[in-house]
């Protein structure tokens, strides 16, 4: 794993500990593994971040931080990965989640036009809501598993390459 490369982009633990939205976690942010970049914390952080990225909830970063604390994994990676869901990618991701959920529930996909109103949200909760939420949970779980095993495999592969290069120097 390109540990040095990732560490360049990670914020300092003090910066995140003092962040106004993370103050609610208090002393929980002092756990060593939340800031460590190792073979256990990195894959778990990818799983947490990718799972939360698929959840259609506000304050995804705070939720990802809470899960990183619960699972004792790298907090900056988990929080950063939720930004996969952004205003550009969100419509595509959530529409794919809706289609998958509708397919799993054997519902024919419904035509709908999004409106940014509370009335539209209330009306849509019972029509497109169940397939949408199911699709988000399934895709979040699938991407979390893929991310976990991909990072775990890449980490092991990079260690093998380092061992081989050390052996060749002898």
61-75 average pLDDT score: 93
pTM above 0.85, yes or no: no
- Among all chains, which residue has been given the structure tokens 């169940």? 130
More confident residue, 88 or 5: 88
- pLDDT band at residue 28 under the 50/70/90 scheme: confident
Sign of CA dihedral 71, 72, 73, 79: positive
Give the pLDDT of residue 34: 86
- pLDDT band at residue 55 under the 50/70/90 scheme: very high
Q: How far is CA 164 from the centre of its chain?
A: 33
DSSP 8-state class, residue 40: T
- pLDDT band at residue 32 under the 50/70/90 scheme: confident
- pLDDT band at residue 81 under the 50/70/90 scheme: very high
What percent of the chain lies above the pLDDT cut of 90? 48
> What pLDDT, in 10s, does the model give residues 103-115?
999 988 877 776 7
DSSP letters along 55-82, please?
S--S-HHHHHHHHHHHHT--HHHHHHHG
CA dihedral 27, 32, 38, 39 (to 10 degrees): -70
């Amino acid at each position: 794993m390109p540990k040095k490369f990732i560490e360049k982009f990670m914020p300092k633990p003090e910066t995140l500990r003092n962040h106004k939205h993370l103050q609610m976690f208090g002393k929980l942010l002092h756990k060593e593994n939340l800031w460590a970049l190792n073979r256990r914390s990195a894959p778990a952080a990818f799983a947490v971040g990718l799972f939360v990225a698929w959840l259609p909830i506000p304050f995804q970063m705070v939720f990802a931080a809470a899960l990183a604390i619960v699972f004792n994994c790298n907090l900056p990676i988990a929080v950063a990965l939720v930004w996969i869901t952004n205003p550009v990618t969100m419509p595509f991701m959530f529409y794919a989640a809706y289609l998958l959920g509708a397919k799993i529930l054997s519902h024919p996909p419904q035509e709908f036009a999004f409106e940014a109103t509370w009335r539209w949200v209330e009306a849509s909760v019972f029509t497109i809501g169940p397939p949408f939420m199911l699709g988000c949970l399934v895709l979040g779980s699938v991407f979390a598993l893929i991310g976990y095993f991909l990072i775990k495999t890449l980490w092991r592969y990079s260690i093998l390459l380092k061992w081989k290069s050390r052996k060749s120097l002898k």
